[in-house]
Amino acid sequence: MYCAVEWTCLYLVKGNPLNSEMDSTEQLALGSTDTLSSGHNADLEAAKRLAKRLYNLDGFKKADVARHLGKNNDFSKTVAGEYLKFFEFTGMTLDQALRSFLKELALVGETQERERILAHFSQRFYECNPKTIPSEDGAHTLACALMLLNTDLHGHSWALGRWTLIYLVKI
C-alpha cells in the first residue's frame, strides 16, 4: 500500500532524479563555496545560510527545496529546522498552515523524503500551537490525513473509488 504522501505529489523535475545521492563532498547550494565533507556533520551556520537561500529561492526552484529538506542526515535535519523557522503558524488551523507551507515548496521526492518534510512541518506547527493539538505526533497524523483526503478528493482516478468514512475509521 502507498503512503498518503505518495499519492499527493508530482515529480516536477525531469532529468534530475531527486533520489540520487550526491558524492561525499556535497555541494550545499548553487554557486556556494560551502561544502560538507560528511553528509552527517551538521554545521549550524551553513545550515542557516542554506535555509535562508532555500526560503528566498535564491538560486533554487521550489522543487529543489524538498530535495534539501528531505534527506536523512544531520545536516539536512538542521537545514529543515532552520527553514521552518521562517514560517509562523501561530493561530492558524492545521490545514491553513499546511497550505501556507506547501505554497513555498514543491513536495517532491521519494515517499520517505516527503514524510520527513511533513514531520518537520508538524514539529513546527506544534511549536507554534502547543495548546491546539495534543502532541507533535497528532499534528503529523492529521497532516498526513489531510494530504491523503485532499488527494482522494482532487487526485486522478483511483481504482478503488473514493474513500468512505467507514474505510477511514478502519485504517
Cell of 169: 475509521
45 belongs to the catalytic site:
no
Residue 35 and residue 28 in contact, taking contact as beta carbons nearer than 8 Å: yes
- Catalytic residue of the set 6, 45, 82, 110: 110
Written as one string, the DSSP assignment of the chain is ---HHHHH-----TTS-TTPPP-SSEE-STT---EESSTT---HHHHHHHHHHHHTTSS--HHHHHHHHS-SSHHHHHHHHHHHTT---TT--HHHHHHHHHTSS---S-HHHHHHHHHHHHHHHHHH-TTTSS-HHHHHHHHHHHHHHHHHHHSS--TT-S--HHHHHH-
Residue 36, beta-bridge partner list:
26
Residue 27, beta-bridge partner list:
35
Residues designated catalytic? 110
